[in-house]
A and B are shown apart, each in its own frame.
Chain A
Amino acid sequence: MKIKRKKKNTSMARKAVAISVTSSVFLAVVCLLVSCIFFQREAIKIYEGMETSLTRSALVEVDNAVLNDLIIRTAEAYNSIDDPVALRNSDEEAYFARFADIQNSPEYKKIWKQLNNDRRATISTAYCLSLIYPTKGYWVYVMDASDTNVQRCGELMFDDFSAYIGHPGMDYEGNVTISEKYGRVRTDGICVLVDEEKEINSYFTADIPISEAIKNVKIFLIQSACGAFIVALFTCIGVFVAVNKIAVRPIDDMAGKAEDFVGMYEERFDTHTGTDVFQDVYDGDVKELIKLAISLRSMELEMNSYLRDIDKLVGEKARISTELDIATKIQEATIPRNFSDFDKYHQFELWGDCKPAKEVGGDFYDFFMLDEDHLCLVMADVSGKGIPAALYMMVSKIAIKTRAEQGGNPSEIIAYVNDRLSANNSVDMFVTVWLGILTLSTGHVIAANAGHEYPVVTDETGNYVLMKDKHGFVCGGMGGLKYKDYEFDIPKGGRLFIYTDGVPETQNTKDEFYGTERMVEALNHCKDLDPEHTIEQMHTSLVKFSEGAEQFDDTTLLNVWYKG
């Protein structure tokens, strides 16, 4: 058998692995992303808290009044400059000179030192005191307590502070900047002084380098990814092995056995023995596979039982065929062909033939002497075909002959046979019978017809003529019927031809019937021949007419030549 393959075939284990790989990778990516976001958010919170607490604790140590005073003085110095940015760019010296007094004051230095010392004990790289000018986009340093690149009082630092517009004294928004020395630096802190009138918006912030932390996050991510990959790899291997063991191998086994089973077809039919391929095909505990194994096993058992049935049928068929052969022979033997036994009767000569359409048929003829002067002639046709018709024919034939030999007129004989046959006739079969008794000394015939075809008798001129005789009902169909005798004479040298309906109903390839007209015509073509050759000629005529078309009915003919 050819199986149409539309898609590329993949093994079940491979499919399972592909699914588990895809799902593990998806799961790992989702986990990493979630943990990354979580990690980042938590880290920001920690830094925020750390910077807030650092700045708060730093401010506890210093004198707030002095600090505020320094802020206010710086703001005033700044405000005294018309265009601080332009001056800062054009004349740095002049610009910073405006803040020199503040920066050089002992209180400024004292607080700077205090804050810087304090800072050194922490991870912060700078403590900055500043004035934010949100609308201007920069802040002005009041103090930068750090060890490197210390910004002077009054220095400008440009950044986006637009979020502070209209929100004086709001919490410092943590931000990240890039420093040459420390890399990424996070700045956060607290509000120190707000004076809307004087436009003072001052913050104290701490810088914490976070490059290290970010690096750690990256390392964490890579490590987690590697870990996830390894876990996924082992999971996949596990899945592959498990699927292979639990499902693929048993299915493979079953498929292999199924192939064996198919391969044993010839053997099964040659040896006529059942197979035992699917016994113990699966011993696992997977429900679906158990079901499959049971199905395979029951299929095999069914097949074995079919095989036994076929075996039986083959034997039966052979037996029936043999029996049919024997039945045919028995039936043939019941139809008399001992024509030469009648040679001693010089008054007549006769010949008959019967050709069944199937192996056994329902037509028959019979002839026997009732006494030295009376010849009984019988032509009959049983309804239906085959073995049922043959059985019925045997019964009818014996009944007719037995009753005829006891004496009586044809009508009495047929009426008796009719009653006998219809007595226990549950299948409504019947037989048409023409029965005639010829008196050899005179050529007188007394006959009765139970639903049979019209006989053909030659007239004075020697021509065959269809004799439309009186008909009774067929024999065996219904009990208690009466039949009528009729009489006629066969002229000296005349002939009688009786037949069954198979003759006129012989068909040709155009579905035309042979018919009684053609039959009488054919008979008249051979009216001078003896019975044996007449029958032969009639057969030739039938064969010629039928043009090889298959015949469904038995054809039986009997010809009597009354010589006188």
Chain B
Amino acid sequence: MLNINKTQTDKDLVVALEGRLDTMTAPDLESQLQAGLAGVEHLTFDLKGLEYISSAGLRVLLSAQKTMNKQGDMVVKNATEEVKEIFEVTGFTDILTIE
């Protein structure tokens, strides 16, 4: 289960994720981002409620990061220790801006 909450103010988009971002839920987030990233300059992922992220989920974050590299910036914040560890292990800390 994954709850996706998008809050957009002008060119700022905050995507709050709650639950598990895995093979089953990643396609949903991917399609929502594909439709919602046009014109966004500052993208923030609020991962306060994210319990788990799998490689399929990481792939979506990577795609978003690549898109935002072209049109603005992207920040990941409030990641739990578990999720932070996954970022650590997979080297995503190198390419993501984690706050």
Contacts and interface: CB of A to CB of B under 8 A. Distances in A.
Question: In terms of DSSP, what is the predominant structure of the interface of chain B?
Answer: helix
A451 B54 CA distance: 13
Contact of A452 (B22, B66, B89): B89
Interface stretch (B3-11, B39-47, B57-65): B57-65
Contact of A473 (B22, B56, B92): B92
A240 B95 CA distance: 85
Interface in B2-54: 22-24, 54
A383 interface: yes
A478 B66 contact: yes
Contacts of B22: 552
A106 to B, nearest CB: 129
Contact of A477 (B23, B24, B56, B95): B95
B66 A428 contact: yes
Contact of B91 (A382, A428, A451, A552): A451
Contacts of B55: 381-384, 430, 432, 501
A297 interface: no
B31 to A, nearest CB: 14
B92 A430 contact: no
Contacts of A382: 55
Nearest to A450: B91
Given A385-B23, A478-B66, A472 B91 contact: yes
Contacts of A477: 62, 95
B81 interface: no
Contacts of B91: 450-451, 471-474
B99 interface: no
A119 B55 CA distance: 128
Given A471-B89, A473-B92, A473-B95, A429 B59 contact: yes
Given A384-B55, A428-B66, A477-B62, A472 B89 contact: no
A553 interface: yes
A429 B56 CA distance: 8
A410 to B, nearest CB: 14
Contacts of A452: 89-90
B59 A430 contact: yes
A428 B62 contact: yes
Nearest to B60: A428
Given A385-B23, A552-B23, A428 B90 contact: no
Question: In terms of DSSP, what is the predominant structure of the interface of chain A?
Answer: loop
Contact of A428 (B24, B63, B88): B63
A451 B58 CA distance: 11
A353 interface: no
A454 interface: yes
Interface string B58-99: 110011001000000000000000000000111110110000
Contacts of A428: 59, 62-63, 66
Contacts of A381: 55
A51 interface: no
A472 B94 contact: yes
A48 interface: no
A180 to B, nearest CB: 107
B23 A478 contact: no
A471 B23 contact: no
A144 interface: no
Interface string A492-517: 00000000010001000000000000
Nearest to A481: B94
Most chain B beta-carbon contacts within 10 A, residue among A385, A432, A453, A474? A474
Given A428-B59, A430-B55, A452-B89, 5 more contacts: A383-B55, A473-B91, A473-B92, A477-B62, A501-B54
Interface of B: 22-24, 54-56, 58-59, 62-63, 66, 88-92, 94-95
14 contacts: A381-B55, A383-B56, A384-B56, A428-B62, A429-B59, A430-B59, A432-B55, A453-B89, A471-B90, A472-B94, A473-B91, A477-B62, A478-B66, A501-B54
